[in-house]
Chains A and B, each alone.
Chain A
Protein backbone atom coordinates (compact mmCIF):
# COMPACT_ATOMS: atom_id res chain seq x y z
CA UNK A 1 0.00 0.00 0.00
CA UNK A 2 1.30 3.44 -0.84
CA UNK A 3 1.72 5.75 2.10
CA UNK A 4 2.09 9.39 1.12
CA UNK A 5 3.67 10.59 4.36
CA UNK A 6 4.92 8.49 7.29
CA UNK A 7 2.22 8.32 9.92
CA UNK A 8 2.94 9.24 13.52
CA UNK A 9 4.27 6.17 15.38
CA UNK A 10 1.39 4.43 17.12
CA UNK A 11 3.00 3.53 20.46
CA UNK A 12 -0.11 2.00 22.02
CA UNK A 13 -0.90 -0.30 19.11
CA UNK A 14 2.76 -1.28 18.64
CA UNK A 15 2.95 -2.26 22.32
CA UNK A 16 -0.27 -4.29 22.13
CA UNK A 17 0.84 -6.12 18.97
CA UNK A 18 4.33 -6.83 20.40
CA UNK A 19 2.92 -8.09 23.72
CA UNK A 20 0.51 -10.43 21.90
CA UNK A 21 3.39 -11.77 19.78
CA UNK A 22 5.52 -12.27 22.91
CA UNK A 23 2.77 -14.24 24.67
CA UNK A 24 2.22 -16.41 21.59
CA UNK A 25 5.96 -16.97 21.10
CA UNK A 26 6.55 -18.07 24.71
CA UNK A 27 3.50 -20.34 24.57
CA UNK A 28 4.82 -21.89 21.36
CA UNK A 29 8.22 -22.54 22.99
CA UNK A 30 6.43 -24.14 25.93
CA UNK A 31 4.31 -26.29 23.62
CA UNK A 32 7.08 -27.31 21.22
CA UNK A 33 10.16 -27.63 23.43
CA UNK A 34 8.81 -28.64 26.82
CA UNK A 35 5.73 -30.62 25.78
CA UNK A 36 6.82 -32.19 22.50
CA UNK A 37 10.63 -32.38 22.38
CA UNK A 38 11.64 -32.82 26.03
CA UNK A 39 8.25 -34.21 27.15
CA UNK A 40 8.79 -32.60 30.57
CA UNK A 41 5.16 -31.54 30.54
CA UNK A 42 2.44 -34.08 29.99
CA UNK A 43 -0.53 -33.63 27.67
CA UNK A 44 -2.65 -33.65 30.81
CA UNK A 45 -1.84 -33.99 34.48
CA UNK A 46 -3.03 -37.21 36.03
CA UNK A 47 -6.20 -36.56 37.96
CA UNK A 48 -7.08 -33.34 36.16
CA UNK A 49 -10.64 -32.24 36.74
CA UNK A 50 -12.87 -31.41 33.78
CA UNK A 51 -12.73 -27.77 34.88
CA UNK A 52 -8.93 -27.70 34.87
CA UNK A 53 -8.95 -29.28 31.40
CA UNK A 54 -11.41 -26.68 30.14
CA UNK A 55 -9.29 -23.81 31.45
CA UNK A 56 -6.24 -25.44 29.87
CA UNK A 57 -8.08 -25.67 26.53
CA UNK A 58 -9.20 -22.06 26.82
CA UNK A 59 -5.68 -20.83 27.60
CA UNK A 60 -4.19 -22.80 24.73
CA UNK A 61 -6.72 -21.34 22.28
CA UNK A 62 -6.11 -17.85 23.59
CA UNK A 63 -2.34 -18.15 23.00
CA UNK A 64 -2.83 -19.34 19.44
CA UNK A 65 -5.39 -16.66 18.54
CA UNK A 66 -3.42 -13.84 20.23
CA UNK A 67 -0.28 -14.74 18.28
CA UNK A 68 -2.08 -14.55 14.92
CA UNK A 69 -3.93 -11.35 15.89
CA UNK A 70 -0.64 -9.79 17.07
CA UNK A 71 1.10 -10.68 13.81
CA UNK A 72 -1.66 -9.11 11.72
CA UNK A 73 -1.71 -5.97 13.89
CA UNK A 74 2.05 -5.61 13.32
CA UNK A 75 1.62 -6.09 9.55
CA UNK A 76 -1.12 -3.46 9.51
CA UNK A 77 1.07 -0.97 11.43
CA UNK A 78 3.95 -1.70 9.07
CA UNK A 79 1.70 -1.07 6.06
CA UNK A 80 1.03 2.50 7.14
CA UNK A 81 4.52 3.02 8.61
CA UNK A 82 3.10 3.50 12.10
CA UNK A 83 5.25 1.03 14.08
CA UNK A 84 6.87 2.71 17.07
CA UNK A 85 10.46 1.37 16.66
CA UNK A 86 11.78 1.42 20.24
CA UNK A 87 8.69 -0.24 21.65
CA UNK A 88 8.59 -3.59 19.80
CA UNK A 89 11.39 -5.23 21.80
CA UNK A 90 10.10 -4.22 25.25
CA UNK A 91 6.55 -5.22 24.26
CA UNK A 92 7.74 -8.62 23.06
CA UNK A 93 9.79 -9.25 26.24
CA UNK A 94 6.98 -8.09 28.51
CA UNK A 95 4.61 -10.48 26.67
CA UNK A 96 7.05 -13.39 26.97
CA UNK A 97 7.95 -12.69 30.60
CA UNK A 98 4.36 -11.99 31.58
CA UNK A 99 3.18 -15.26 30.08
CA UNK A 100 6.03 -17.26 31.63
CA UNK A 101 5.40 -15.79 35.09
CA UNK A 102 1.62 -16.25 34.79
CA UNK A 103 2.10 -19.84 33.56
CA UNK A 104 4.50 -20.64 36.41
CA UNK A 105 2.34 -19.20 39.15
CA UNK A 106 -1.28 -19.65 38.01
CA UNK A 107 -1.17 -22.72 35.73
CA UNK A 108 1.46 -24.73 37.53
CA UNK A 109 0.89 -23.76 41.16
CA UNK A 110 -2.63 -22.41 41.67
CA UNK A 111 -4.63 -24.40 39.09
CA UNK A 112 -2.21 -27.34 39.10
CA UNK A 113 -2.79 -28.00 35.38
CA UNK A 114 0.66 -29.53 35.06
CA UNK A 115 4.09 -29.11 36.64
CA UNK A 116 7.34 -28.00 35.02
CA UNK A 117 8.77 -31.45 35.50
CA UNK A 118 7.68 -34.58 37.29
CA UNK A 119 10.65 -35.05 39.58
CA UNK A 120 11.54 -34.57 43.23
CA UNK A 121 12.46 -31.05 44.30
CA UNK A 122 10.16 -29.60 41.64
CA UNK A 123 10.49 -26.26 43.48
CA UNK A 124 13.95 -25.84 41.96
CA UNK A 125 12.40 -26.01 38.50
CA UNK A 126 9.62 -23.69 39.61
CA UNK A 127 12.12 -21.08 40.75
CA UNK A 128 14.00 -21.35 37.44
CA UNK A 129 10.75 -21.17 35.47
CA UNK A 130 9.24 -18.20 37.29
CA UNK A 131 12.68 -16.56 37.68
CA UNK A 132 13.22 -16.65 33.91
CA UNK A 133 9.84 -14.97 33.48
CA UNK A 134 10.70 -12.25 35.99
CA UNK A 135 14.06 -11.59 34.30
CA UNK A 136 12.36 -11.10 30.94
CA UNK A 137 9.83 -8.79 32.59
CA UNK A 138 12.65 -6.77 34.18
CA UNK A 139 14.58 -6.39 30.90
CA UNK A 140 11.39 -5.50 29.06
CA UNK A 141 10.54 -2.90 31.68
CA UNK A 142 14.01 -1.32 31.53
CA UNK A 143 13.90 -1.14 27.73
CA UNK A 144 10.42 0.37 27.88
CA UNK A 145 11.68 3.10 30.24
CA UNK A 146 14.58 3.88 27.88
CA UNK A 147 12.18 4.06 24.92
CA UNK A 148 9.99 6.51 26.83
CA UNK A 149 13.06 8.69 27.54
CA UNK A 150 13.89 8.66 23.82
CA UNK A 151 16.94 6.41 24.34
CA UNK A 152 15.60 3.39 22.45
CA UNK A 153 18.22 1.19 20.79
CA UNK A 154 16.22 0.70 17.59
CA UNK A 155 14.98 3.71 15.68
CA UNK A 156 13.83 1.84 12.59
Chain B
Protein backbone atom coordinates (compact mmCIF):
# COMPACT_ATOMS: atom_id res chain seq x y z
CA UNK B 1 0.00 0.00 0.00
CA UNK B 2 1.39 3.42 -0.90
CA UNK B 3 1.87 6.17 1.65
CA UNK B 4 -0.72 8.20 -0.21
CA UNK B 5 -3.34 5.46 0.00
CA UNK B 6 -2.65 4.97 3.71
CA UNK B 7 -3.08 8.64 4.38
CA UNK B 8 -6.26 8.66 2.34
CA UNK B 9 -7.63 5.67 4.29
CA UNK B 10 -6.80 7.32 7.57
CA UNK B 11 -8.69 10.44 6.51
CA UNK B 12 -11.74 8.44 5.42
CA UNK B 13 -11.67 6.50 8.66
CA UNK B 14 -11.40 9.69 10.65
CA UNK B 15 -14.38 11.27 8.93
CA UNK B 16 -16.47 8.06 9.15
CA UNK B 17 -15.69 8.00 12.83
CA UNK B 18 -16.67 11.65 13.36
CA UNK B 19 -19.92 11.39 11.39
CA UNK B 20 -20.86 8.19 13.23
CA UNK B 21 -20.17 9.67 16.67
CA UNK B 22 -22.18 12.78 15.80
CA UNK B 23 -25.15 10.69 14.62
CA UNK B 24 -25.02 8.54 17.76
CA UNK B 25 -25.02 11.67 19.93
CA UNK B 26 -28.06 13.02 18.04
CA UNK B 27 -29.85 9.69 18.38
CA UNK B 28 -29.24 9.68 22.13
CA UNK B 29 -30.43 13.26 22.50
CA UNK B 30 -33.60 12.47 20.53
CA UNK B 31 -34.34 9.51 22.83
CA UNK B 32 -33.74 11.62 25.93
CA UNK B 33 -35.99 14.38 24.58
CA UNK B 34 -38.68 11.74 23.95
CA UNK B 35 -38.55 10.39 27.50
CA UNK B 36 -38.55 13.93 28.96
CA UNK B 37 -41.59 14.97 26.94
CA UNK B 38 -43.43 11.80 27.95
CA UNK B 39 -42.56 12.14 31.63
CA UNK B 40 -45.17 14.82 32.14
CA UNK B 41 -47.96 12.31 31.47
CA UNK B 42 -46.68 8.82 32.22
CA UNK B 43 -43.24 7.78 33.47
CA UNK B 44 -40.99 5.98 31.04
CA UNK B 45 -39.11 3.04 32.67
CA UNK B 46 -35.69 4.29 33.79
CA UNK B 47 -34.02 1.02 32.87
CA UNK B 48 -35.04 1.44 29.23
CA UNK B 49 -33.31 4.83 29.21
CA UNK B 50 -30.28 3.17 30.80
CA UNK B 51 -30.28 0.44 28.13
CA UNK B 52 -30.44 3.02 25.35
CA UNK B 53 -27.57 4.96 26.90
CA UNK B 54 -25.48 1.77 27.20
CA UNK B 55 -26.36 0.85 23.61
CA UNK B 56 -25.25 4.27 22.36
CA UNK B 57 -22.04 4.07 24.41
CA UNK B 58 -21.26 0.61 23.00
CA UNK B 59 -21.93 1.89 19.50
CA UNK B 60 -19.73 4.94 20.11
CA UNK B 61 -16.95 2.70 21.49
CA UNK B 62 -17.09 0.72 18.23
CA UNK B 63 -16.56 3.91 16.23
CA UNK B 64 -13.80 5.67 18.21
CA UNK B 65 -10.88 6.56 15.88
CA UNK B 66 -8.35 4.47 17.86
CA UNK B 67 -10.42 1.29 17.45
CA UNK B 68 -11.14 2.09 13.79
CA UNK B 69 -7.38 2.25 13.13
CA UNK B 70 -6.54 -0.81 15.21
CA UNK B 71 -9.32 -2.79 13.50
CA UNK B 72 -7.89 -1.80 10.14
CA UNK B 73 -4.50 -3.26 11.05
CA UNK B 74 -5.47 -6.31 13.05
CA UNK B 75 -8.30 -8.78 12.44
CA UNK B 76 -8.67 -9.34 16.21
CA UNK B 77 -9.59 -5.71 16.78
CA UNK B 78 -11.84 -5.90 13.78
CA UNK B 79 -13.67 -8.73 15.53
CA UNK B 80 -13.99 -6.68 18.72
CA UNK B 81 -15.45 -3.86 16.64
CA UNK B 82 -17.84 -6.28 14.95
CA UNK B 83 -19.03 -7.62 18.32
CA UNK B 84 -19.59 -4.11 19.68
CA UNK B 85 -21.40 -2.77 16.61
CA UNK B 86 -23.35 -5.80 15.44
CA UNK B 87 -24.06 -7.84 18.57
CA UNK B 88 -23.89 -5.87 21.84
CA UNK B 89 -24.97 -2.34 20.89
CA UNK B 90 -28.19 -3.64 19.24
CA UNK B 91 -29.19 -5.35 22.52
CA UNK B 92 -29.23 -1.98 24.29
CA UNK B 93 -30.84 -0.08 21.43
CA UNK B 94 -33.60 -2.62 20.75
CA UNK B 95 -34.53 -3.41 24.37
CA UNK B 96 -34.83 0.31 25.02
CA UNK B 97 -38.04 0.07 22.91
CA UNK B 98 -37.32 3.21 20.83
CA UNK B 99 -40.29 2.59 18.53
CA UNK B 100 -42.72 2.50 21.47
CA UNK B 101 -41.25 5.77 22.70
CA UNK B 102 -41.61 7.32 19.25
CA UNK B 103 -45.22 6.14 18.87
CA UNK B 104 -46.17 7.59 22.25
CA UNK B 105 -44.59 10.92 21.38
CA UNK B 106 -46.18 11.24 17.94
CA UNK B 107 -49.61 12.83 17.54
CA UNK B 108 -52.34 10.22 16.90
CA UNK B 109 -52.38 10.85 13.15
CA UNK B 110 -48.61 10.54 12.86
CA UNK B 111 -48.56 7.35 14.96
CA UNK B 112 -51.25 5.81 12.76
CA UNK B 113 -49.25 6.69 9.66
CA UNK B 114 -46.10 5.08 11.11
CA UNK B 115 -47.99 1.91 12.05
CA UNK B 116 -49.48 1.78 8.54
CA UNK B 117 -45.99 2.18 7.06
CA UNK B 118 -44.63 -0.65 9.27
CA UNK B 119 -47.48 -2.84 8.04
CA UNK B 120 -46.65 -2.42 4.34
CA UNK B 121 -45.33 -5.57 2.72
CA UNK B 122 -41.76 -4.40 1.93
CA UNK B 123 -41.23 -3.51 5.60
CA UNK B 124 -42.84 -6.77 6.68
CA UNK B 125 -40.56 -8.80 4.40
CA UNK B 126 -37.49 -6.87 5.57
CA UNK B 127 -38.30 -7.25 9.26
CA UNK B 128 -39.21 -10.95 9.01
CA UNK B 129 -36.84 -12.98 11.23
CA UNK B 130 -35.70 -15.11 8.28
CA UNK B 131 -34.79 -12.06 6.16
CA UNK B 132 -33.07 -10.45 9.13
CA UNK B 133 -31.08 -13.63 9.88
CA UNK B 134 -30.01 -13.96 6.24
CA UNK B 135 -28.84 -10.33 6.13
CA UNK B 136 -27.04 -10.63 9.46
CA UNK B 137 -25.48 -14.11 9.52
CA UNK B 138 -25.48 -14.58 5.74
CA UNK B 139 -23.67 -11.27 5.43
CA UNK B 140 -20.97 -12.52 7.79
CA UNK B 141 -20.41 -15.70 5.77
CA UNK B 142 -20.09 -13.54 2.67
CA UNK B 143 -17.70 -11.14 4.36
CA UNK B 144 -15.31 -13.62 5.96
CA UNK B 145 -15.41 -16.60 3.59
CA UNK B 146 -14.92 -14.59 0.37
CA UNK B 147 -12.28 -12.00 -0.63
CA UNK B 148 -14.77 -9.31 0.43
CA UNK B 149 -13.03 -8.69 3.75
CA UNK B 150 -9.56 -8.27 2.21
CA UNK B 151 -11.18 -6.03 -0.39
CA UNK B 152 -12.80 -3.85 2.26
CA UNK B 153 -9.38 -3.10 3.79
CA UNK B 154 -8.29 -1.26 0.66
CA UNK B 155 -11.67 0.18 -0.36
CA UNK B 156 -12.73 2.93 2.06
CA UNK B 157 -16.37 3.21 0.91
CA UNK B 158 -16.82 -0.56 1.25
CA UNK B 159 -15.38 -0.44 4.73
CA UNK B 160 -17.81 2.33 5.73
CA UNK B 161 -20.68 0.36 4.21
CA UNK B 162 -19.70 -2.75 6.20
CA UNK B 163 -19.67 -0.88 9.49
CA UNK B 164 -23.12 0.44 8.70
CA UNK B 165 -24.25 -3.04 7.72
CA UNK B 166 -23.07 -4.48 11.07
CA UNK B 167 -25.15 -1.95 12.97
CA UNK B 168 -28.26 -2.10 10.78
CA UNK B 169 -28.43 -5.88 10.29
CA UNK B 170 -27.57 -6.57 13.93
CA UNK B 171 -30.30 -4.22 15.12
CA UNK B 172 -32.78 -5.59 12.60
CA UNK B 173 -32.09 -9.18 13.67
CA UNK B 174 -32.34 -8.40 17.39
CA UNK B 175 -35.58 -6.49 16.79
CA UNK B 176 -37.12 -9.18 14.56
CA UNK B 177 -36.32 -11.98 17.04
CA UNK B 178 -37.02 -10.48 20.45
CA UNK B 179 -37.76 -6.76 20.21
CA UNK B 180 -40.15 -5.45 22.90
CA UNK B 181 -41.76 -2.94 20.51
CA UNK B 182 -45.29 -3.80 19.40
CA UNK B 183 -45.15 -5.64 16.08
CA UNK B 184 -48.58 -6.89 15.01
CA UNK B 185 -47.21 -8.72 11.99
CA UNK B 186 -44.38 -10.50 13.77
CA UNK B 187 -44.41 -14.30 13.41
CA UNK B 188 -45.13 -16.41 16.48
CA UNK B 189 -42.84 -17.49 19.29
CA UNK B 190 -41.98 -20.88 17.77
CA UNK B 191 -40.90 -19.41 14.44
CA UNK B 192 -38.70 -16.82 16.13
CA UNK B 193 -37.09 -19.38 18.46
CA UNK B 194 -36.50 -21.66 15.47
CA UNK B 195 -34.86 -18.91 13.40
CA UNK B 196 -32.74 -17.84 16.37
CA UNK B 197 -31.60 -21.42 16.91
CA UNK B 198 -30.57 -21.87 13.27
CA UNK B 199 -28.83 -18.47 13.26
CA UNK B 200 -26.90 -19.34 16.44
CA UNK B 201 -25.79 -22.69 15.01
CA UNK B 202 -24.74 -20.97 11.77
CA UNK B 203 -22.79 -18.38 13.75
CA UNK B 204 -21.02 -21.04 15.87
CA UNK B 205 -20.22 -23.04 12.74
CA UNK B 206 -18.79 -19.93 11.06
CA UNK B 207 -16.51 -19.38 14.07
CA UNK B 208 -15.20 -22.94 13.75
CA UNK B 209 -14.81 -22.65 9.97
CA UNK B 210 -12.82 -19.42 10.30
CA UNK B 211 -10.56 -21.15 12.82
CA UNK B 212 -10.13 -24.39 10.90
CA UNK B 213 -9.44 -22.92 7.46
CA UNK B 214 -7.77 -19.63 8.43
CA UNK B 215 -10.40 -17.23 7.13
CA UNK B 216 -10.64 -14.32 6.30
CA UNK B 217 -7.88 -14.70 3.73
CA UNK B 218 -5.74 -12.30 1.81
CA UNK B 219 -5.00 -10.00 4.73
CA UNK B 220 -1.51 -11.23 5.57
CA UNK B 221 -2.58 -11.88 9.17
CA UNK B 222 -0.83 -14.83 10.80
CA UNK B 223 -2.87 -17.89 11.83
CA UNK B 224 -2.51 -17.08 15.55
CA UNK B 225 -4.37 -13.79 15.05
CA UNK B 226 -7.06 -15.42 12.91
CA UNK B 227 -7.59 -18.17 15.48
CA UNK B 228 -7.96 -15.65 18.28
CA UNK B 229 -10.45 -13.61 16.25
CA UNK B 230 -12.50 -16.73 15.45
CA UNK B 231 -12.62 -17.79 19.09
CA UNK B 232 -13.66 -14.33 20.28
CA UNK B 233 -16.41 -14.32 17.72
CA UNK B 234 -17.54 -17.77 18.89
CA UNK B 235 -17.62 -17.21 22.64
CA UNK B 236 -18.68 -13.54 22.83
CA UNK B 237 -21.24 -14.11 20.09
CA UNK B 238 -22.68 -16.86 22.31
CA UNK B 239 -23.22 -14.38 25.11
CA UNK B 240 -25.12 -11.92 22.92
CA UNK B 241 -27.26 -14.69 21.42
CA UNK B 242 -27.95 -16.28 24.81
CA UNK B 243 -29.37 -12.91 25.88
CA UNK B 244 -31.86 -13.16 23.01
CA UNK B 245 -32.88 -16.68 24.09
CA UNK B 246 -33.44 -15.34 27.62
CA UNK B 247 -35.56 -12.47 26.25
CA UNK B 248 -37.71 -14.91 24.27
CA UNK B 249 -38.10 -17.23 27.26
CA UNK B 250 -39.11 -14.29 29.49
CA UNK B 251 -41.89 -13.51 27.03
CA UNK B 252 -42.90 -17.20 27.11
CA UNK B 253 -42.94 -17.18 30.93
CA UNK B 254 -45.12 -14.06 31.05
CA UNK B 255 -47.58 -15.59 28.59
CA UNK B 256 -47.84 -18.87 30.52
CA UNK B 257 -48.36 -17.03 33.80
CA UNK B 258 -51.15 -14.99 32.24
CA UNK B 259 -52.75 -18.17 30.95
CA UNK B 260 -52.48 -19.97 34.28
CA UNK B 261 -53.75 -16.89 36.17
CA UNK B 262 -56.80 -16.79 33.95
CA UNK B 263 -57.32 -20.44 34.80
CA UNK B 264 -56.98 -22.14 31.47
CA UNK B 265 -54.58 -23.45 28.91
CA UNK B 266 -51.94 -24.86 31.22
CA UNK B 267 -50.95 -28.46 30.69
User: A residues bordering B, Cβ < 8 Å?
Assistant: 1, 43-44, 48, 50, 53-54, 56-58, 60-62, 64-65, 68-69, 71-72, 75-76, 79-80
5 nearest A-B pairs in the assembled complex, by CB-CB distance: A57-B205, A57-B204, A72-B249, A53-B208, A61-B201
> Within the complex, which residue of B211, B230, B234, B257 is in contact with A1, where a contact is CB–CB below 8 Å?
B257
The answer to whether B207 and A57 touch across the interface, beta carbons within 8 angstroms, is: yes
Given contacts A68-B242, A79-B257, 7 further A-B contacts (CB under 8 A): A1-B261, A44-B212, A57-B202, A61-B200, A69-B245, A76-B257, A80-B266
Answer whether residue B209 sits at the interface, using C-beta atoms and an 8 A cutoff: yes
B245-267: CB near A (< 8 Å → 1, else 0) gives: 11001101100110011000010
Q: Which residue of A lies closest to B246 (CB)?
A: A68
Q: A65-B245, A72-B252, A80-B266 are in contact. Are A57 and B260 (CB under 8 A)?
A: no
Give Cα A68–Cα B244 distance, bound, in whole angstroms: 11
Which residues on B sit within 8 Å (CB–CB) of A68?
Answer: 242, 245-246, 249
Give Cα A68–Cα B211 distance, bound, in whole angstroms: 27
Answer whether residue B197 sits at the interface, using C-beta atoms and an 8 A cutoff: yes
Give Cα A148–Cα B205 distance, bound, in whole angstroms: 41
Give Cα A69–Cα B242 distance, bound, in whole angstroms: 11
| Main secondary structure on A side of the interface with B | helix
Which residues on B sit within 8 Å (CB–CB) of A48?
Answer: 208, 212
Give Cα A52–Cα B55 distance, bound, in whole angstroms: 36
User: B residues bordering A, Cβ < 8 Å?
Assistant: 197, 200-209, 211-212, 227, 230-231, 234, 238, 241-242, 245-246, 249-250, 252-253, 256-257, 260-261, 266
Give Cα A53–Cα B230 distance, bound, in whole angstroms: 13
Give Cα A102–Cα B205 distance, bound, in whole angstroms: 20
Give Cα A75–Cα B201 distance, bound, in whole angstroms: 26
Q: Which residue of A lies closest to B249 (CB)?
A: A72
> Within the complex, which residue of B200, B249, B261 is in contact with A64, where a contact is CB–CB below 8 Å?
B200
The answer to whether B205 and A58 touch across the interface, beta carbons within 8 angstroms, is: yes
Contacts A/B (CB < 8 Å), 15 sampled: A43-B208, A43-B211, A43-B234, A48-B212, A53-B205, A53-B208, A54-B201, A56-B204, A56-B205, A57-B203, A57-B204, A60-B204, A61-B197, A61-B200, A79-B253
Which of A65, A75, A76 has most B Cβ within 10 Å? Answer: A65
Which of A61, A71, A76 has most B Cβ within 10 Å? Answer: A61
Give Cα A9–Cα B205 distance, bound, in whole angstroms: 40
- In the complex, what's the smallest C-beta–C-beta distance from B240 to chain A, in angstroms? 12
Give Cα A65–Cα B201 distance, bound, in whole angstroms: 10
Give Cα A62–Cα B242 distance, bound, in whole angstroms: 11
- In the complex, what's the smallest C-beta–C-beta distance from B145 to chain A, in angstroms? 11
The answer to whether B227 and A43 touch across the interface, beta carbons within 8 angstroms, is: yes
Q: A61-B200, A65-B197 are in contact. Are A76 and B253 (CB under 8 A)?
A: yes
- In the complex, what's the smallest C-beta–C-beta distance from A121 to chain B, in angstroms? 27
- In the complex, what's the smallest C-beta–C-beta distance from B230 to chain A, in angstroms? 8
Give Cα A64–Cα B208 distance, bound, in whole angstroms: 16
Give Cα A150–Cα B249 distance, bound, in whole angstroms: 33
Which residues on B sit within 8 Å (CB–CB) of A53?
Answer: 205, 208-209, 212
Give Cα A71–Cα B197 distance, bound, in whole angstroms: 17
Give Cα A43–Cα B230 distance, bound, in whole angstroms: 10
Q: A43-B227, A57-B204 are in contact. Are A64 and B209 (CB under 8 A)?
A: no
Give Cα A48–Cα B245 distance, bound, in whole angstroms: 29
Give Cα A65–Cα B200 distance, bound, in whole angstroms: 9
Give Cα A24–Cα B95 distance, bound, in whole angstroms: 26
Which residues on A sit within 8 Å (CB–CB) of B201?
Answer: 54, 57-58, 60-62
Give Cα A61–Cα B230 distance, bound, in whole angstroms: 16
- In the complex, what's the smallest C-beta–C-beta distance from B246 to chain A, in angstroms? 6
Q: Which residue of A lies closest to B256 (CB)?
A: A76
The answer to whether B211 and A64 touch across the interface, beta carbons within 8 angstroms, is: no
